[in-house]
């Protein structure tokens, strides 16, 4: 007999398949309408089946953040992976070489150090490694900070026999697409002047996904969170709470006072990521409830504002603040079909930190 969510032990993760698929279709349709190629980031779901679904809908390939994720996805048959990271050190370069031998893989660099490492490991001009230059267009994380530096690194890549210059990549500061656009425009002009036209300009981020435009500049977009979405994305106007596909199912294990409930989902299930939200998640069945604190295995809920209150033993679904980090905490997730049946699947690329 097929499993239903009543039979699942809590805490656990539920994925509403119809909502996830609708989220994928909506984003692909938007990208198509704007002439953007999608290259979804798998960090959110970490599941080969969803990566394949994204490609089947029209994505040109996928994005992974760590070699361990790319290895899992390549094993599952994904054959075009972008790994926007500075890969450094003998062990990681050996793993990158192994991937490069079996799929189309592209990477980034933001320093001569990283490029020189790639150049030493990849020497076959007939099968070069594709290297994009990472650009800091305002976020303040990795990336060269001026278009002039981008040109210098592009030249260094182009000069290495076993490397090929793949273009520019940025993770823009959320809500500041104009800044990123101005930065990239200046860099493209400088590259064109140097005879190094970037074949790909890759941007990303679900918060600005539905404001993304090619503008004859950006060619690829790397959204991740959009497949499930979460409370933070709702706060950014990406979609409604009802379109969020991932929830954490928890049980009320204690009602110590009239206004306090405690659930069996703590920071090991919901994570302590706040992302500017008030409390650690949203409970659709009790919208006035506030998850005020988490310890590892307990979540404390303030019910002061609730007319109706949950009883001990009751199960509640929570839309987390940040769904990507939740995926990383669970060995399995439960995929819920429209008929209510559940399929439990391992989160294949979970915990691939290296």
Alpha carbon distance 13, 44 (integer Å): 13
- Does 1 engage in binding with its own copies (CB under 8 A)? no
Residue 91, number of CB atoms within 10 A of its CB: 11
Which residues, 144 to 183, sit near its own copies by CB under 8 A? Answer: 144-145
Binding residue (CB under 8 A) for its own copies from 208, 220, 273, 317? 273
- 244's CB contacts (< 8 A; 6+ apart) are 19, 228, 229, 230, 231, 233, 234, 319, 323
Binding residue (CB under 8 A) for its own copies from 243, 271, 277, 334? 271
167 forms beta bridges with 132, 200
CB of residue 220 vs its own copies: minimum separation in angstroms? 19
38 forms beta bridges with 221
- Does 323 engage in binding with its own copies (CB under 8 A)? no
Sign of CA dihedral 334, 337, 340, 343: negative
> Which stretch in 97-105, 118-126, 233-241, 246-254 sits in contact with its own copies by CB under 8 A?
246-254
DSSP labels for 31-72? HHHHTPEE--BTTTT--HHHHHHHHHHT-S-EE-SSHHHHHH
Which residues, 57 to 116, sit near its own copies by CB under 8 A? Answer: 65-66, 85-86, 88-89, 91-92, 110-111, 113-114
> Which stretch in 17-25, 184-192, 230-238, 251-259 sits in contact with its own copies by CB under 8 A?
251-259
Q: Are strands 12-16 and 332-336 parallel, antiparallel or unpaired?
A: parallel
Q: Which two tokens stand for residue 102?
A: 């079996």
- Does 136 engage in binding with its own copies (CB under 8 A)? yes
Of residues 16 and 110, the one with the C-beta less far from its own copies: 110
Query: Which positions touch its own copies (CB under 8 A)?
Result: 7, 9-12, 43, 65-66, 85-86, 88-89, 91-92, 110-111, 113-114, 136, 140-145, 251, 253-257, 260, 262, 264-265, 267-269, 271-274, 293, 295-298, 300, 312-313, 324-325, 328-331, 351, 353-354
């Amino acid at each position: 007999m097929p499993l239903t969510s009543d039979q699942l032990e809590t805490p656990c993760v539920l994925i509403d398949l119809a909502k996830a698929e609708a989220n994928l279709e909506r984003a692909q349709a938007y990208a198509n309408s704007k002439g953007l190629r999608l290259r979804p980031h798998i960090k959110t779901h970490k599941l080969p089946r969803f990566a394949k679904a994204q490609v089947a809908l029209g994505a040109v390939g996928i994005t992974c953040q760590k070699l361990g994720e790319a290895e899992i996805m390549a094993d599952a048959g994904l054959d075009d992976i972008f790994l926007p990271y500075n890969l450094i050190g003998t062990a990681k370069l050996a793993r990158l070489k192994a991937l490069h031998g079996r799929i189309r893989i592209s990477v980034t660099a933001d320093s001569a150090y990283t490029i020189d490492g790639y150049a030493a490991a990849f020497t076959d001009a007939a099968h070069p490694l594709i290297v994009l230059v990472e650009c800091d267009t305002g976020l303040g994380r990795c990336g060269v900070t001026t278009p002039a530096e981008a040109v210098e690194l592009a030249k260094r890549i182009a000069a290495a026999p076993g490397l090929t210059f793949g273009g520019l990549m940025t993770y823009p500061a959320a809500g500041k697409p104009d800044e990123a656009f101005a930065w990239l425009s200046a860099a493209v002009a400088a590259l064109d002047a140097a005879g190094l036209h970037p074949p790909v300009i890759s941007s990303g981020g679900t918060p600005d996904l539905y404001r993304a435009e090619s503008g004859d500049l950006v060619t690829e977009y790397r959204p991740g969170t959009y497949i499930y979405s979460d409370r933070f994305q709702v706060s950014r106007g990406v979609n409604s709470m009802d379109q969020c596909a991932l929830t954490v199912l928890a049980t009320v294990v204690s009602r110590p006072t009239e206004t306090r409930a405690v659930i069996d989902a703590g920071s090991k299930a919901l994570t302590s990521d706040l992302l500017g939200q008030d409390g650690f998640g949203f409970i659709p069945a009790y919208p006035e409830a506030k998850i005020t604190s988490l310890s590892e295995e307990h979540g404390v809920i303030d019910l002061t504002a609730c007319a109706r209150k949950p009883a001990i033993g009751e199960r509640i679904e929570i839309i987390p603040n940040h769904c990507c980090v939740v995926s990383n905490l669970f060995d399995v997730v439960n995929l819920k079909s429209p008929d209510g049946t559940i399929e439990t699947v391992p989160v294949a690329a979970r915990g691939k930190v290296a």
